[in-house]
Amino acid sequence: MKTALLAAILASVISPAAFAQTAATTSPHSFSANVGLVSDYRFRGFTQTNLRPAIQGGFDYEHASGFYAGNWNSNVADELFPGGNIEMDLYGGYKHAFGDVELDVGGLYYYYPGSDAAKGGTIKNFELYAGLAYGPFSLKYSHGMTDFFGAPDSKNNYYVEAGLAFDLGSGWGVDAHVGYQKLKNDPAISGYVDYMAGVTYAFDDWTFGGHVVSTNKKDWYQTSRDRDAGRTGVVFSVARAF
């Protein structure tokens, strides 16, 4: 709606030839933003908000060459990240299509301002990743270059995930995900599997979703109310892109 109105205004003040020339010189740079609300923020199957809602949002930049960068943020439970209640993610990478296969490589830095990992400093994490997508199928590998969110001597942890996403038409879609997290030197767990499956509905710039989330190690850690952080649950979401 906004695009059509803007085009009409431009056409009324410049000549058709000039308007065509302007449209033909589209910038290779693009910017977008998003904001959303979820009933529970789950990261690789485990709640980050003590099974409570979270508001989330971010900004993205893309270049026509395939390079991109962005920032994403969410509230988190300060019981889990002592002294901090915000997660700030910074990422950048490169995407390129080889026929029907798209390659995506990059890095992701998680930062929790104000937090303290048992007086050892601000909680943070850095991963390198590589992913492939083919039609509705996707596969991604993430490798931890730092200690896993402040856990001592846990470098070189990794996460492998596979996903499916099908467009059913009329705005409806279904998607599913399974992932495996491998950890080092954690006395409680060396690795676990998480699952997710659900349905989405897109309308204009809005997307609504409902997903069942679970893990095979539900009691890895407890919430502040002594509930399993990886318990099976349904996560509802609403998001808007700009």
Give the C-alpha separation, 54 to 41, whole Å.
Answer: 6
* Secondary structure of 194-220 in HEC code, one letter for each residue: EEEEEEEEEECCEEEEEEEEEECCCCC
| CB burial of residue 153 (10 Å; 0-12, 13-18, 19+) | exposed
Give 163 or 15, the one with higher predicted confidence: 163
pTM: 0.86
3-state DSSP assignment of residue 44: coil
DSSP string, 154-171: -TT-EEEEEEEEEEEETT
Average pLDDT (81-86) is 90
Nearest to 133 by CA among 165, 106, 107: 165
Local confidence band at 189 (pLDDT 50, 70, 90 cut-offs): confident
pLDDT in tens, 130-177: 999 999 999 999 999 999 998 888 999 999 999 999 999 999 999 999
User: Which helix (H) or strand (E) segment is 34 a member of?
Assistant: strand 29-38
**Six token digits for residue 57:** 């949002």
Local confidence band at 25 (pLDDT 50, 70, 90 cut-offs): low
Give the C-alpha separation, 209 to 138, whole Å.
Answer: 19
| Average pLDDT over the chain, rounded to an integer | 89
Nearest to 160 by CA among 185, 130, 186: 130
Task: Report the interhelical angle of 2-13 vs 16-24 (nearest 10°).
Answer: 130
Number of CB atoms found within 10 A of residue 200's CB: 19
Domains of the chain in sequence order: 28-241 (2.40.160.40)
Bridge partner residues of 93 (DSSP): 68, 106
